[in-house]
Amino acid sequence: MGKIFIALLTMLCISCNTPDHPGNKVWAWMSGANSMTAEQWDYYFKKSSEAGIDAILLECHGGYPKTPDDTTSFRDSAAIEIITSALPYAKKYHIELHAWIWTMNRTEMNLRKAHPEWYQVNAAGESCLDIKLYNREHYRWLCPSRSETLNYLKERVAELAEIEGLAGVHLDFIRYPDAILPYALHESRHVVQDRVYPLWDFCYCPVCRGRFKALSGMDPLDLEDPTSNEAWMQYRWDVLSYVAGELCLEIKKHGKTASIAVFATPEESKKLVRQDWAGFKNVDVFFPMIYHKFYGWDDERVLSATKEGVRALKAAEAGGYLCSGLFAGHVPPERLQEFIQYTAEGGSRGICFFSVQEIDRIPGYWEAIRKRFGAQP
């Protein structure tokens, strides 16, 4: 009886985005581009508003950013332009707008040209600028140990966070490249990853090796099985957590919400992408991307993954709250309610959909969300 009552209560609460329940929002990620027309902006924000979406995480710096040739000024004017183009529509339809950026994964050509030494190096001694990791042009990753990296990212975050009317900055790709890809992707990407291989094991740049040696007396390149060396794993987790915490602090200094997109569970994140997100400080909202089919998981794992994240944040006294992210393509519109129930039972505050464009692509999706969260006639 008690369990049913709690389930009903969580079902009710997820839709009541009143001042009494400010955390229970309906969120969605959305791609942005400088080429988007007024009609496109209006269409997506109107559809989102009608469906009951409260907040949009708008991608303004992704894998293929528009960057100038200038290697002396790195101000991300293209990202700022995307946000300022979208803001009037967010305001018109009463949607909270957050600037979503890729963080450690930075592909801008001017930065690559000016500072190739800031990029991560694998255990085989190859820079991620010199190889096409996973055959992806956009897999170019900054080293978290370098103060230059942190300063650069702080500047990019600050220039967005100071935009008037913006609610927050959302950090994605705040991790290392995949040491191991999510399990269900191995076949389609033609990789064998029964363990961590040097090609996919980062960062062994001179700065990381030097800093770790100063701490432990060991050169990580001398380790026979680096993944089983706790100190070396811990070093990489910690240095990334430090960067995440500092960037979130920068966002908050501007009075904005700091949020992050992370892998599905704390344990999988640590293992696959060396992201110990439960240990990140200064985060207001954690969005685990519980895209369960990429992991080859059953649907019910959405519940247990949410629960694991909530538990880990509580244990780490992280401060922020968790909002589960669902991949629309993995959640049929007719079963939306079932999946929302999984996240609510797991302890998620609100729900986040990937993505506005994905929702728009799948017949019946807008209607399903509107039926669940939109204003009733």
Going by the DSSP 8-state scheme, the letter that residue 195 receives in this structure is S
- Tokens of residue 263, six digits: 């892998």
* Residue nearer to Zn ion on the CB measure, 211 or 253: 211
How near is the Cβ of 202 to Zn ion at its closest, in Å? Answer: 8
Residue with smaller CB distance to Zn ion, 203 or 278: 203
Residues 194-223: x where in contact with Zn ion by CB under 5 A, - otherwise, as a string: ---------x-x--x---------------
Name the one range near Zn ion by CB under 5 A: 45-53, 67-75, 138-146, 326-334: 138-146
With H, G, I as helix, E, B as strand and everything else as coil, classify residue 26: strand
- Count of residues near Zn ion by CB under 5 A: 5
Under a CB-based contact definition with an 8 Å cutoff, are residues 350 and 25 in contact?
yes
Is residue 333 classed as helix, strand or coil in its secondary structure?
helix
Residue type at position 110: N
Q: Please tell me whether the peptide bond between 355 and the residue prior to it is cis, using omega within 30 degrees of 0.
A: yes
Stretch that binds Zn ion, among 143-151, 159-167, 345-353, 360-368 (CB under 5 A): 143-151
* Closer residue to Zn ion (CB): 26 or 239: 239
Q: Which is nearer to Zn ion, 203 or 323 (CB)?
A: 203
Residue 145 engages Zn ion in binding (rule: CB under 5 A): yes
- In the complex, the smallest distance separating the C-beta of residue 281 from Zn ion, rounded to whole angstroms, is 21
Residues 33-72 that bind Zn ion (CB under 5 A): none
Please give the Cα distance from 50 to 351 (Å, whole number): 16
Asked if 99 and 60 count as a contact pair (C-beta separation under 8 A), the reply is yes
Q: Does 150 bind Zn ion (CB under 5 A)?
A: no
State which of residues 58, 86, 99, 143 lies at the interface with Zn ion (CB under 5 A).
143
Strand order through the sheet with 351-354: 321-322, 285-288, 257-262, 168-172, 96-102, 55-61, 26-31, 351-354, 324-327
- Closer to Zn ion by CB, 105 or 145: give it: 145
CA distance 304 to 214: 40
Considering the complex, state which of residue 104 and residue 143 has its C-beta at the smaller distance from Zn ion: 143
Stretch that binds Zn ion, among 141-149, 150-158, 189-197, 280-288 (CB under 5 A): 141-149
Over its C-alpha atoms, the chain yields an Rg (Å, rounded) of 21
Structural tokens at position 369: 């969300």
Positions that interact with Zn ion (CB under 5 A): 143, 145, 203, 205, 208
